[in-house]
Chains A and B, each alone.
Chain A
Amino acid sequence: MAKKNIINKLFAAGPLILLYYLSISEVDTNLEKLFDIFSINLQIIIIYFWIIKRPSLMGTGHIFFAGLINDVVMGFPLGISSLSYLVVCFVGNYVRNKSVNTTIASDWFTFFIALLFANLLFVYLLNNFSEVIISYAKIGYNTFFTLFLFPVFWFLFHLYQISFIGSQDA
């Protein structure tokens, strides 16, 4: 019984572990060697999905901290990724408060809004308060591919949720 409980807790911590691992490790979601313009922001997809479906698994403090780690590893000013993650979190919370039942289509549409706000804030802060120059085209491609692949990850995370955590949404 206790063993089962530990396994359940481990499965429940899966999304958070993945979020931390993606932030701190060398694992890229930028496959430019295969396709020059391809890159996605998997962290934002993870945060949005689990904030909508199971907010209890994705503490905001952890999201903030994962953002800080991501900034250190990527070389961005501290706090900028945390801010964009928290914006996604905020939109996710708002959508959860306002909607009774969500579908993949409604999640996709609201994710677009969250992603847009998060990336706009990211670009605005970098452009106005930092000396780091980034390419608008790269941000655009990143936004496009993140949005485009959202349903794929939605489906994968949904499978994970019903297989290991339980189908009951928040």
Chain B
Amino acid sequence: MSVSREDFSIAFRSALLQRGASQKFSILSLIIVALVVFFLDVYGFAVVKTTRSFINDLVYRVTYLTSVPTRLFPGINKGIANHFNLKNENEELRKVIERYKALDLNLEYISNENKNLKKVLDTENVESVTNIVLAKVLVDRNSPFLKSIIINKGSKEGIIKGMPVTQNKYLVGRIVETNFLSSRVLLLNDLNSRIPVTFDEKSTQAILTGGGTRKPTLAYLPEDYEFKENITVFASGKDGIFNAGTPIGKTRNNGEVELFVDPNQLSFVTVNLIKPTKEIF
């Protein structure tokens, strides 16, 4: 019995403290370091905040660069599929396509990007408005727990926590973290997202609640409220953060809201430089 307890203790200690040729740090020492980093970050010491902001900017840029191949794959797949579907193409043309395929893909990617930018400029009237910032989505990692995106504009452009983010004048989310050169946008379908909204002819008030799923739901509605399909939901502006009347989506029979902007398809967004009356999240 005592031998077995001794075995356990030896294996336990060895697992925690063992180091080797490639294991330069023991697990125990790294656990302690990780705990220190965690508590410093959670309790928000100024030095840690500045350091984190710097690290964030750096890591987001690297993430953007490392994700380039994954962004190009869908384009490449599409190009190859189109190529094989062209039945009446003769051999000569096929050779030309082969030669220029890479260039075509690149061109397609750039022209799509250009179209998107034009659309954003047209709908947002960027030239005539000074209190908005056009930003590119750097990282759109689809986490199972948090629904957020990283944009390439930060406190350098005057962005602060809480500012609303839109695309084509439709609400997308709000800023929850700012770094010097980048910011994190919390999307409307995140579990942490709560937006006061208004809709229908009676100006019914409710809270749009993200559930971590694709469609947020309406909560805190009047008693016995019956949902109707296809009613436009607007931000009520009661929180002092979002512009009253910013369109968000259309209602569904089950209380969900189909967002006007698909949170998984964002390329460019605009940050409205409205100073919120209070900071949330």
Residues of A within 8 A of B (CB): 21, 24-28, 30, 32-33, 36, 39, 55-61, 63-64, 67-69, 72-80, 82-83, 86-87, 89-91, 93-94, 96-98, 125, 129-135, 138-139, 141-142
Contact = CB atoms under 8 A, between A and B. Distances in A.
B67 A27 contact: yes
B63 A24 contact: yes
A154 to B, nearest CB: 21
B85 to A, nearest CB: 24
B16 interface: yes
Given A57-B22, A60-B23, A86-B31, A79 B41 contact: yes
Contacts, number: 160
Contact of B142 (A30, A67, A82, A131): A30
20 contacts: A26-B140, A55-B22, A59-B23, A72-B55, A72-B60, A73-B141, A74-B143, A77-B41, A78-B38, A86-B27, A86-B31, A93-B15, A94-B12, A94-B15, A96-B15, A97-B15, A125-B38, A129-B39, A130-B42, A134-B212
B214 interface: yes
Interface of B: 7, 10-12, 14-16, 18, 20-27, 30-31, 33-42, 48, 52, 55-56, 59-60, 62-63, 66-67, 70-71, 139-146, 148, 176-177, 184, 191-192, 211-214, 264, 281
B35 to A, nearest CB: 7
B22 A56 contact: yes
A97 B59 contact: no
A151 to B, nearest CB: 21
A59 B7 CA distance: 25
Contacts of A27: 67, 70
Nearest to A58: B22
A154 B143 CA distance: 23
A72 B56 CA distance: 6
A114 B10 CA distance: 19
A56 B34 contact: no
A75 B39 contact: no
Contacts of A24: 59, 62-63, 66
A75 to B, nearest CB: 5
Q: In the A-B complex, list the 10 residue pairs whose CB atoms are closest, starting with the nearest.
A: A79-B38, A39-B144, A26-B67, A93-B15, A79-B37, A94-B15, A78-B41, A97-B11, A82-B34, A79-B34
Given A64-B34, A134-B146, A28 B141 contact: yes
A82 B23 contact: no
A134 B191 contact: yes
Given A78-B52, A79-B35, 11 more contacts: A26-B141, A32-B213, A36-B213, A60-B27, A63-B30, A67-B34, A68-B37, A69-B59, A90-B27, A90-B31, A141-B144
A64 to B, nearest CB: 5
Contact of A32 (B11, B16, B71, B144): B144
Given A72-B55, A97-B15, A135 B145 contact: yes
B31 A83 contact: yes
B16 A90 contact: yes
Contact of B11 (A94, A130, A134): A94
